[in-house]
């Protein structure tokens, strides 16, 4: 029988914000007249591409690691990730003086592997299709008496990611507006869950959506069926950061209630969003970080006469791929 796990709350997000104060960056909300004209709404883009390590993942990683008691830090931490979570954990571990091991798939973007190593992490490579990286990470954690840091299905991780949503609401309030629509990229669902917790607590009328690549729409299908659905494919999209097999247990318990609907974008639509962000916003956004923007640009969500927010969740993209996408 599985042990009962308490779901995080908006109060946990507030606690994470205090822990992250002065460590994580308060990233800006970016606007574009061209995007407003394209969508018919007033659109704000949360630029987590400018966060430490280039994605929102640093928020949850630091919140998790900083909460580990001093007597439990000697074994270090172990994580499994295709790149953004890896870099977030490695950076947090370096700041807190902890040893760090990351299990990464061999086909993870080279830039993400190199940056993770540069942050001082020990990297163990695995085959995405044939090996279970979570099981490998668990084994390492047991042998080294290290703390396992999951990418999304953890209350402290979710609460840390939720600080991005807290900033969204506070910054919009400073402009005298409230969000009508918030769309968040989703893989395991940690960012969506954290953002939903704090946005719903502060703006109950806001509509929240997940955004996923086509063929990796496990959240959208899970919302429709009411249970966690699994993707058939393990690879096959340029959105390497969004290829989790299914929503997490904790994240789906939150998202099915607070979010409840999802949209998708094709690789071609995502590529167009990456190019738009570069040409119009002067931002480098990785494909997985641009899906929410793609959903707005293609009209998957009707935001006419509404205040809409899309999270640009990461900017760690291989230069070769980026050049092809923006050409």
Say whether both 108 and 166 belong to one domain: no
Low-confidence ranges of the chain (pLDDT < 50): 1-3
Residues facing residue 208 across a β-bridge: 182
**What are the strands of the beta sheet with 42-47, ordered from one edge?**
29-30, 42-47, 307-312, 181-185, 207-213, 262-265
Report yes or no: 288 and 314 within 8 Å, Cβ to Cβ: yes
Say whether both 120 and 247 belong to one domain: no
Say whether both 127 and 178 belong to one domain: no
Say whether both 183 and 291 belong to one domain: yes
Q: What's the pTM value of the predicted model, to 2 decimals?
A: 0.95
Q: How many structural domains compose the chain?
A: 2
Say whether both 195 and 275 belong to one domain: yes
Which residue range forms the structural domain that includes residue 244?
Answer: 10-55+155-326
Say whether both 113 and 80 belong to one domain: yes
Rounded to an integer, what distance in angstroms lies between the CA atom of residue 257 and that of residue 255? Answer: 5
**Domain boundary residue among 123, 148, 173?**
148
Say whether both 251 and 165 belong to one domain: yes
Rounded to an integer, what distance in angstroms lies between the CA atom of residue 249 and that of residue 169? Answer: 26
Say whether both 50 and 66 belong to one domain: no
At 4 the pLDDT is 55
At 2 the pLDDT is 44
The answer to the question of residue 2 being in a domain is: no
CA-nearest of 21, 76, 29 to 182 is 29
Distances (CA, A) of 320 to 138, 183, 252: 33, 28, 35
At 1 the pLDDT is 35
CA-derived radius of gyration, the chain: 18
CATH of the domain at 138: 3.40.50.1100
The answer to the question of residue 140 being in a domain is: yes
């Amino acid at each position: 029988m599985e042990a009962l796990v308490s779901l995080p709350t908006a109060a946990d997000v507030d606690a994470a914000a205090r822990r992250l104060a002065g460590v994580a960056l308060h990233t800006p909300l970016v606007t574009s007249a061209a995007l407003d004209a394209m969508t018919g709404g007033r659109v704000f883009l949360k630029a987590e591409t400018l966060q430490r390590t280039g994605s929102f993942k640093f928020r949850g990683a630091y919140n998790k690691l900083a909460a580990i008691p001093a007597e439990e830090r000697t074994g270090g931490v172990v994580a499994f990730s295709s790149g953004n979570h890896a870099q977030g954990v490695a950076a947090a571990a370096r700041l807190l003086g902890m040893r760090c091991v990351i299990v990464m798939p061999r086909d993870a973007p080279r830039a993400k592997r190199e940056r993770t190593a540069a942050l001082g992490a020990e990297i163990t490579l695995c085959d995405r299709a044939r090996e279970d990286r979570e099981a490998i990470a668990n084994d390492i954690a047991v042998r080294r008496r290290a703390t396992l840091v999951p990418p999304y299905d953890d209350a402290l991780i979710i609460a840390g990611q939720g600080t991005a949503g807290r900033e969204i609401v506070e910054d919009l309030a400073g402009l005298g507006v409230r969000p009508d629509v918030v769309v968040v990229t989703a893989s395991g669902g940690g960012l969506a869950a954290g953002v939903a917790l704090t946005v719903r607590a502060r703006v109950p009328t806001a509509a929240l959506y997940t955004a996923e690549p086509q063929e990796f729409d496990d959240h959208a299908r899970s919302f429709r069926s009411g249970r966690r659905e699994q993707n058939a494919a393990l690879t096959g999209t340029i959105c390497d950061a969004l290829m989790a097999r299914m929503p997490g247990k904790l994240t789906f318990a939150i998202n099915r209630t607070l979010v409840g609907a999802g949209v998708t974008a094709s690789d071609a639509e995502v590529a167009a969003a990456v190019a738009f962000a570069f040409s119009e916003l002067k931002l480098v956004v990785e494909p997985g970080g641009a899906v929410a923007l793609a959903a707005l640009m293609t009209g998957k969500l009707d935001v006419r006469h509404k205040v809409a927010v899309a999270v640009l969740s990461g900017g760690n993209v291989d230069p070769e791929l980026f050049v092809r996408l923006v050409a």
